[in-house]
């Protein structure tokens, strides 16, 4: 290559690198998504460990920071209470886990193992043991079949319309599944996954014997570093519930996988290496999908990337050499296709191409396409990046990269805040009615959350749980004046009061109303009810999305000055990403706003973390503290694990009951009922189910006023809005024997 050609290649590589950075694929943005996913996985691991359930962990492109590359969201479900040990380590101590197995590598099919069963609790199984256990007549051992994934109860959370592909349960997201999935990862509304793939796996902290060569492998480059290799070895491996497609014993085999190891290696990449992997995945999705089908996957490209990284030192992987780096990887892929053998990165004896699927015809077509792609390199880049023009000037690249980074950071803040607010994972800490047991779980969770980034909002939620639980314990005591439980209950209530505008405060007010804490109770309630309730006619998520859209639009209209953007990124890098405390980050922005600076995105942050509002949720164990009409809503369906009330309607109920308890004049109560009526009549965006509950609350309030006629009308309206037998209004009319004209004509049916 001539000097001029080298210069042109270097200039083109830098130009392409700048384009990718401006397109939102800079290393800081990728790191942002990687860290966010790791944080969510850490939280799920803590909660799952405390409650002893399966542990979900997001893996694949989302975890790698390429949230917009794949249409599928891959989630690994780690099975609890299954222990796997190396086949060389016998015997071993049996502890409290339900299943003990010994891993036995299948030498005929490298990268796959069998699990011989030492002990097993058959209460785990839905059907007979023969469905999940195979007894080999030759060696007399019992082997665990990989269809045992059917018994893992997380599948009950999935919709009925699911399909099984290899080790995965695949399904299209529904509204309920999206709520469940928010426990696992934050979603950008623009890039919501089209499918969810849930893969069951059994983890082991040992390093598998089949991958022993990887630990001492001679590498041309210094990647991965010795320190990273040591770290990876300590992460162990996973056995995924799928066998080799080329084996007659596939139902007995488990695939050896290295999810955590691969993620750590991805997180060690520099920007050029990350760009190269991104381009490889684009090549697979745009060019090779229709030719090679599922024979070339994202995992194929990741494997090729890892093997190339071992060959070339870090000096090769630079922005000025990006084009050369990419085509080096493509040429390596072509050589593997030509041989029909792609070695697994950790277990090179295993061929990732399946011979009976990657037929000679598909192999030839794929090789020919890659040869043509390599010959016409200039057009190749344009093919996978249609909007990229090599001769186009990239103006103000640092400024645009700053804006992209701020935008992605704001989105990340928003969806992290929202996923925290959903709270379904934390609700799982409540198990039954044993207050002491639940409190112990919450306390253990609180201790473990201290290691998690952005933990402060979660801690406030757990502290609120513990405050309510302490009050329940306090209610059972004979001496209720100055006890340890009262002091703890008061302390936790104060600590959690600022967690949001509605959920935590109204749970506190519920306890205060029952406890007779008169003035503080009313003050909390009126912070919600003194408004006309307009704020709560939109869900918090809807308002967040609107605010974010407005802030980002202003941001890209250059409403911030260059200097303010520098201040912005400084706070993000030096405060938020260091201290990882959203309240501290907001405080830094507030100080600069006091000096006259304008930051678009500030409103989003405030709404996400300090002025957030949610439905008010209670669990069955908290039933004793609930007002009677709220308790009835919870008890009407004994399958409910928790119940949530619209914040404004529930606050109005508390305010009415406060006036009733403390003998306020009727005008005060009538004012509350007027607000009730105005809200359920005009708030068209509120779901009918929530309006129906509000009308049930009104009926109860009117019954306290001895106004049975208005109470009856509210019940009829409630039943018309939500005509099911599990509506409290139905049972009110049934048991109270209200004579309501036309009630027999109401259509009642059971909710499926």
Whether residues 444 and 517 fall in one domain: no
Q: What is the pLDDT of residue 194?
A: 56
Question: Does some domain include residue 352?
Answer: yes
Q: Do residues 492 and 517 both lie within one domain?
A: no
Q: Quick check: is 332 in a domain?
A: yes
From its phi and psi, is residue 567 left (phi > 0), alpha (psi between -120 and 50) or beta? alpha
Residues 635, 517 within the same domain: yes
Decide if 551 contacts 568 (C-beta within 8 A). no
Residue 141, SS3? coil
Q: Per-residue pLDDT tens for 223-234?
A: 999 999 999 999
Question: What distance in Å separates the CA atoms of residue 134 and residue 58, rounded to the nearest whole number?
Answer: 31
Same domain, 658 and 688: yes
Which residues, at least 6 apart from 347, have a Cβ–Cβ distance to it below 8 Å?
110, 111, 210, 211, 214, 256
Residue 418: predicted pLDDT: 76
Do 516 and 386 lie in one domain? The reply is no
Kindly report the pTM of this predicted structure: 0.87
Is the per-residue pLDDT at 274 higher than 60?
yes
pLDDT at 378: 77
Q: Are 370 and 336 in contact (CB under 8 A)?
A: no
Residues 377 and 478 in one domain: no
| CA dist., res. 318 & res. 307, Å (int) | 17
List % helix, strand, coil for the chain (3-state, nearest 5).
60, 10, 30
pLDDT greater than 70 at residue 560 = no
Residue 57: helix, strand or coil by DSSP? strand
DSSP, collapsed to helix, strand or coil, labels residue 256 as strand
Burial class, 199, CB count within 10 angstroms (exposed 0-12 / middle 13-18 / buried 19+)? buried
Q: How far, in Å, are 280, 321, 329, 520, 655 from residue 311 at the CA level? A: 17, 15, 11, 68, 70
Of the pLDDT bands very low, low, confident and very high (cuts 50, 70, 90), residue 660 is: very high
User: Which of 394, 417, 446 is the C-terminal boundary of a domain?
Assistant: 394
Residue 223 falls inside a structural domain: no
Mean pLDDT, residues 481-510: 91
Residue 691 forms part of a structural domain: yes
Of 13, 11, 17, the residue nearest 401 (C-alpha): 17
Domain boundary among 449, 484, 499: 499
CATH of the domain at 684: 1.25.40
Pair 513, 662 in one domain: yes
Can you give the pLDDT at residue 738? 45
Is there a single domain that holds both residue 669 and residue 728? yes
**Gap between the Cα atoms of 746 and 361, Å rounded:** 66
Last residue of a domain, one of 394, 418, 437: 394
Let me know whether 380 and 320 are in one domain.
yes
pLDDT over threshold 50, residue 244: yes
359 CA to centre of own chain:
38
Q: Do both 356 and 489 map to the same domain?
A: no
Q: Kindly tell me if the per-residue pLDDT of 68 is higher than 90.
A: no
Range scoring the smallest mean pLDDT among 26-30, 377-381, 432-436, 661-665: 377-381
- Number of residues that make up the chain: 752
547 pLDDT more than 60: yes
Report the SS3 class of residue 244.
coil
Which pLDDT score is estimated for 126?
Answer: 58
Q: What is the mean pLDDT of residues 63-81?
A: 78
Q: What is the pLDDT of residue 393?
A: 66
Q: What percent of the chain has pLDDT over 90?
A: 53
Determine the pLDDT at residue 750. Answer: 44
Structural domain contains residue 210: no
Shared-domain flag, residues 312 and 444: no
User: Is residue 690 predicted with pLDDT exceeding 90?
Assistant: yes
Provide the b/e sequence for 687-726 (b: ≥16 CB within 10 Å): eeebbbbbbbbbbbbbbeeeeeebbbbbbbbbbebbbbee
Residue range(s) defining the domain that contains residue 317: 273-394
- Mean pLDDT for the chain overall: 85
Q: What is the pLDDT of residues 579-594, one digit of tens each?
A: 989 999 999 999 988 9
Same structural domain, 312 and 459: no
What digits encode the pLDDT tens for the residues 441-473? 999 999 999 988 889 999 999 999 999 999 999
Q: What is the pLDDT of residues 42-67, one digit of tens each?
A: 998 999 889 888 888 989 888 999 87
Strand, helix or coil at 568? helix
The answer to whether residue 124 is domain-embedded is no
Across 11-90, where does the E strand assignment appear? 55-59, 72-78, 82-86
**How many separate domains does the chain show?**
3
φ and ψ at 117, to 5 degrees?
A: -90, 130
Residue-wise pLDDT for 180-237, tens only, equals: 444 434 434 334 555 678 888 899 989 999 999 999 999 999 899 999 999 999 999 9
> Is the confidence at residue 83, as pLDDT, over 50?
yes
In a domain, 602, yes or no: no
Tell me, yes or no, whether 442 lies in a domain: yes
């Amino acid at each position: 290559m001539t000097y001029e050609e080298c210069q042109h290649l270097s200039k083109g590589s830098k130009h392409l690198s700048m384009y990718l950075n401006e397109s939102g694929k800079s290393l800081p943005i990728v790191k942002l998504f990687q860290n966010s996913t790791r944080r969510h996985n850490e939280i799920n691991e803590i909660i799952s460990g405390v409650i002893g359930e399966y542990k979900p962990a997001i893996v694949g492109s989302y975890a790698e920071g390429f949230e917009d590359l794949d249409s599928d969201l891959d989630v690994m479900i780690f099975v609890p209470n299954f222990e796997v040990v190396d086949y060389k380590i016998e015997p071993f101590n049996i502890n409290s886990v339900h299943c003990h197995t010994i891993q036995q590598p299948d030498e005929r099919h490298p990268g796959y193992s069998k699990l011989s069963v030492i002990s097993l609790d058959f209460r785990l199984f839905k059907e007979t043991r023969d469905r999940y256990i195979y007894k080999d007549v030759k060696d007399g051992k019992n082997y665990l079949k990989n269809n045992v994934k059917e018994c893992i109860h997380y599948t009950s959370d999935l919709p009925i319309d699911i399909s099984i592909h290899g080790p995965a349960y695949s399904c299209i997201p529904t509204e309920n599944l999206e709520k469940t999935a928010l426990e696992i990862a934050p979603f950008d509304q623009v890039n919501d996954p089209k499918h969810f793939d849930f893969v069951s796996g059994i983890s082991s902290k040992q390093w598998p014997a089949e991958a022993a060569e990887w630990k001492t492998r001679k590498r041309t480059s210094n990647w991965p570093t010795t320190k990273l290799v040591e770290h990876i070895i300590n992460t162990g491996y996973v056995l995924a519930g799928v066998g080799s497609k080329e084996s007659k014993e596939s139902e007995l085999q488990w695939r050896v996988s290295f999810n955590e190891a691969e993620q750590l290696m991805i997180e060690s990449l520099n920007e050029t290496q990350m760009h190269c992997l991104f381009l490889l995945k684009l090549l697979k999705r745009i060019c090779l999908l229709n030719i090679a089908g599922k024979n070339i996957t994202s995992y194929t490209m990741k494997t090729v990337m890892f093997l190339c990284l071992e060959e070339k030192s870090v000096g090769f992987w630079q922005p000025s050499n990006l084009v050369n780096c990419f085509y080096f990887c493509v040429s390596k892929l072509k050589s593997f296709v030509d041989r029909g053998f792609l070695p697994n990165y950790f277990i090179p004896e295993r061929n990732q191409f399946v011979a009976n699927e990657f037929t000679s015809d598909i192999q030839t077509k794929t090789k020919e396409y890659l040869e043509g792609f390599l010959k016409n390199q200039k057009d190749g880049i344009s093919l996978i990046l249609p909007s990229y023009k090599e001769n186009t000037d990239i103006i103000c690249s640092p400024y645009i990269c700053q804006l992209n980074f701020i935008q992605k950071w704001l989105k990340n803040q928003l969806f992290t805040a929202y996923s925290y607010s959903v709270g379904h994972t934390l609700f799982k800490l409540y198990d039954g009615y044993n207050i002491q047991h639940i409190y112990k779980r919450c306390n253990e969770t609180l201790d473990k959350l201290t290691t998690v980034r952005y933990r402060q909002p979660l801690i406030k939620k757990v502290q609120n749980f513990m405050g309510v639980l302490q009050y329940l314990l306090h209610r059972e005591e004979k001496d209720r004046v100055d006890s340890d439980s009262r002091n703890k209950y008061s302390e936790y209530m104060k600590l959690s009061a600022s967690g949001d505008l509605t959920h935590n405060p109204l749970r506190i007010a519920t306890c205060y109303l029952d406890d007779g804490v008169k003035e503080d109770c009313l003050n909390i309630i009126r912070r919600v009810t003194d408004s006309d309730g307009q704020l709560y006619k939109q869900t918090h998520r809807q308002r967040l999305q609107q605010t974010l859209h407005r802030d980002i639009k202003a941001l890209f209209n250059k409403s911030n000055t260059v200097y303010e953007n520098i201040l912005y990124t400084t706070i993000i890098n030096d405060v938020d990403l260091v201290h990882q405390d959203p309240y501290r980050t907001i405080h830094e922005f507030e100080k600069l706003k006091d000096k006259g600076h304008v930051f678009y995105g500030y409103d989003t942050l405030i709404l996400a973390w300090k002025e957030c509002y949610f439905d008010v949720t209670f669990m069955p164990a908290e039933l004793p503290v609930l007002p009677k009409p709220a308790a009835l809503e919870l008890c009407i369906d004994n399958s409910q694990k928790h119940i949530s009330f619209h914040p404004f309607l529930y606050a109005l109920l508390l305010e009415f009951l406060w006036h009733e308890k403390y003998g306020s004049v009727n005008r005060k109560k009538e004012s509350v009922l007027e607000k009730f009526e105005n809200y359920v009549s005009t708030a068209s965006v509120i779901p009918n189910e929530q309006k129906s509950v509000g009308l049930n609350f009104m009926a109860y309030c009117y019954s306290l006023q001895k106004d049975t006629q208005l109470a009856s009308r509210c019940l009829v309206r409630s039943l018309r809005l939500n005509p099911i037998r599990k509506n409290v209004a139905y049972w009110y009319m049934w048991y109270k024997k209200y004579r309501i004209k036309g009630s027999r004509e109401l259509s009642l049916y059971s909710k499926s």
